[in-house]
Amino acid sequence: MRIFLLWRRFGASEPPFDPQGVGSDLQKLFSPLFRTPFRTKTMQNSSASLVLLELPVVGWKPAFYREDDETWALAPDYPINARSALAMKGTSVDDDGVLPALGRELQAAPAALLQELAPPFSLVWSSKRTGQTFVQTDGLGQSQLFEFQDGRLWALSNKILAFRALGVALEPESEQWAVRATLGWFPLEMTGYKRIRFLEPGTQLHLDSNGLTRTRHDVLSTWVRSSALSSSDCLELARSSLLRHINAAMPLCERNSVGLSGGWDSRAVVSTLRAAGAEFAARVRGLPGRPDVVIARELARIGGFDLKVHSSSGVPPTDVEMCKRSISLALRWQAGYMVTHKHKTFLADQRLLDGGSVNIMGQHGEIGRGYYAKKIRAGEVSEAEYEGWLIGKLMAKMPPFTRKGFHEIVRYVIRQAFRQADRYDLQGSAQLDFFYLYERTRRWASGSLGSQTGVVLAPFLNPDYIRAVFSYTGDLTINPFHRYIIATHSPDWTAVQYAKELDVRHQASETATASFREPDILTPDWRPPTGKENYDSLGYWEAVARPIIQEALAECGFWTEIFDPDVAERQWPAAPDELAMLYLLPDALQSRAPGINS
């Protein structure tokens, strides 16, 4: 677990912040979330000051902070394939020297390295000789880096709440939260807060005694530019890219935990782990009889490895005050950068966070599965209609009690987000794939994965996989990359069905559900699982958490800037999670919520 805060004052009249004092305040802000005290490191030179809070990650070997005679370097998100990328440029280093050497190489020739470094990664480094400090984010901008600036203070952090340690008031921006309530994420470079923005892809910041300068190196254009590769070459490039990424990651960690479900992405990743000969511990979340559990068990049986079933995870608390606590702590930890419905399950078992572990996931595989082409049924409309159909599909998720003044604003923002593909001259289905990559992956998924305290390894998110996808001329909606990877790495799995193909609705009986639940927490209105979840979300709001909605409807506040309370009183069941989140947001950020004592 790493939380860092880097800052610089502008103007001689401004009193400096004491790094030790900032570190103490930072600890107080986040300590309600953690069960053990942080290790704190502070750095200060003529260009900037830094505070790092850290907890060890179980199963992870390299240090996130390293220094040598010339340079100190911190990796908030560790560059998984840094050693191989450096070797390609003729730089050979041992494990301890990777981060300082990477910083110096990025300072000298950033574009060449960014071409090959897999997202997410970010690096902060400083020269011991000159005192100059640098920051580099990855070529996709997947690493969560938030930048604050108001003319007197500049600051950078991977957690929005951290800015409060510098006296920054976190002011939610109503228009941006209206967009987030519709999409489920903040698009473009929005963050949801005034004077805070998301650091753009390929950005390098340079701080010295004279101030701050920034440069951008656009390597994404080379990743999404179609090449002359044949379809078979694209498939092989994608397969080999996963294998290379996993082979680069394995020396960095001990035995890893990997999710295995009934879907395509996790199966492709675990099949690659098998092909690489990597050790792993597989897990699946769900109740017995659910498709994910049935299929994962069959895959594990065929593969000859153990599978751990988490049958009680992902369920909200049975007490309304504990539900408020979960939502409030989630907002404090991620400031809105978490899957909306997962706010109410965050730390629901009353445990606290620790340093986390190494978690291998199939996340991001949908970059190459025609996600939005499927959503809008692109094969049934013309390419010229893609934008309109996508906007309509996403606007349909807007809470019906959103104030009418925001409707066109949200529509405009989605249109602008879609048209970002124009920068790269992408057309047709490639525009939809780019929207998935640049918005749903870069903004939604980065926030979702950023809620984990350990290290997430997502082999699909690498430059060559992206290159393969955008060079492929076939139909992505039939999952060609996943089919090829699985058939090559684990041919014994090809006959096993997928979750969407398996009808097990009648197997998930009330008897099976009850056998995996304590009797005192069974509530027939919401305990039966629905969709992909282990419970009925709307039933939960009606049976357990409705007092939160009633409390919100009885009060004014930030939420009423975005939602019409008169309409919400009638239609709140259409989006209870969004209403509760916006209602509790201000108090959560200001430490006036259940479970927050700092």
Give me the CATH number covering residue 62: 3.60.20.10
Rounded (10°) angle between helices 174-183 and 386-395: 100
Written as tens digits, the pLDDT of the chain (598 aa) is 999 999 999 876 667 899 999 999 999 999 999 999 999 999 999 999 999 999 999 999 999 999 999 999 999 999 999 999 999 989 999 989 999 999 999 999 999 999 999 999 999 999 999 999 999 999 999 999 999 999 899 999 999 999 999 999 999 999 999 999 999 999 999 999 999 999 999 999 999 989 999 999 999 999 999 899 999 999 999 999 999 999 999 999 987 899 999 999 999 999 999 999 999 999 998 888 889 999 999 999 999 999 999 887 788 999 999 999 999 999 999 999 999 999 999 999 878 999 999 999 999 999 999 999 999 999 999 999 999 999 999 999 999 999 999 999 999 999 999 999 999 999 999 999 999 999 999 999 999 899 999 999 999 999 999 999 999 999 999 999 999 999 999 999 999 999 888 754 434 443 333 333 333 333 447 877 776 677 899 999 999 999 999 999 999 999 999 999 999 999 999 999 999 999 999 999 997 666 666 5
191 lies in the same domain as 273: no
242 lies in the same domain as 170: no
Domain membership flag for residue 509: no
CA-to-CA distance for 529 and 523, rounded, in angstroms?
A: 12
How high is the pLDDT of residue 105? 97
What phi and psi, each to the nearest 5 degrees, are found at residue 134?
Answer: -130, 155
179 lies in the same domain as 314: no
Residue 256's CATH number: 3.40.50
Enumerate residues 6+ apart whose C-beta is below 8 A from 94.
none
How high is the pLDDT of residue 594? 65
33 lies in the same domain as 130: yes
DSSP 489-535: H-GGGTTS--GGG---TTTS-HHHHHHTS-GGG--TTT-S--TTSSS
385 lies in the same domain as 488: yes
Give the dihedral sign, CA 301/303/306/311.
Answer: negative
Domain membership flag for residue 598: no
What phi and psi, each to the nearest 5 degrees, are found at residue 6?
Answer: -115, 135
87 lies in the same domain as 106: yes
**Hey, what amino acid is at 257?**
S
126 lies in the same domain as 227: no
How high is the pLDDT of residue 515? 36
103 lies in the same domain as 197: yes
Chain position carrying tokens 């997502």: 458
435 lies in the same domain as 453: yes
Q: Could you tell me the maximum CA-CA distance found in the chain, to the nearest angstrom?
A: 71
Domain boundary among 468, 501, 534: 501
How high is the pLDDT of residue 322? 95
Domain membership flag for residue 507: no
Q: Please tell me whether the peptide bond between 19 and the residue prior to it is cis, using omega within 30 degrees of 0.
A: no
Domain boundary among 469, 501, 533: 501
211 lies in the same domain as 105: yes
How high is the pLDDT of residue 597? 63
Domain membership flag for residue 55: yes
Element (H, E) at 302: helix 291-303
48: containing domain: 2-219
Domain boundary among 441, 467, 501: 501
**Hey, what amino acid is at 23?**
G
What phi and psi, each to the nearest 5 degrees, are found at residue 492?
Answer: -70, -5
CA-to-CA distance for 42 and 52, rounded, in angstroms?
A: 6
Give the dihedral sign, CA 272/275/276/281.
Answer: positive
How high is the pLDDT of residue 518? 36
Of 471, 466, 383, residue with least CA distance to 431: 383
Of 414, 385, 387, 386, residue with least CA distance to 398: 414
How high is the pLDDT of residue 528? 75
Domain membership flag for residue 330: yes
CA-to-CA distance for 195 and 163, rounded, in angstroms?
A: 11
DSSP 164-182: GGGT----B-HHHHHHHHH
SS (H, E, C) 352-395: CECCCEEEECCCCHHHHCCHHHHHCCHHHCCHHHHHHHHHHHHH
Of 283, 281, 275, residue with least CA distance to 247: 275
CA-to-CA distance for 596 and 350, rounded, in angstroms?
A: 13
How high is the pLDDT of residue 337? 96
pTM: 0.94
339 lies in the same domain as 466: yes
DSSP type of residue 226 = -
Q: How many distinct structural domains can be found in the chain? A: 3
| H-type alpha helices, 396-499 | 407-418, 429-435, 446-450, 463-471, 480-489
Would you say how long the chain is, in residues? 598
Domain membership flag for residue 508: no
Report whether 144 contacts 447 (CB < 8 A). yes
Domain membership flag for residue 12: yes
Domain membership flag for residue 385: yes
174 lies in the same domain as 303: no
Label residues 10-30 b or e (16+ Cβ within 10 Å = b): eeeeeeebebeebbebbbebb
How high is the pLDDT of residue 523? 43
CB atoms within 10 A of CB 318: 19
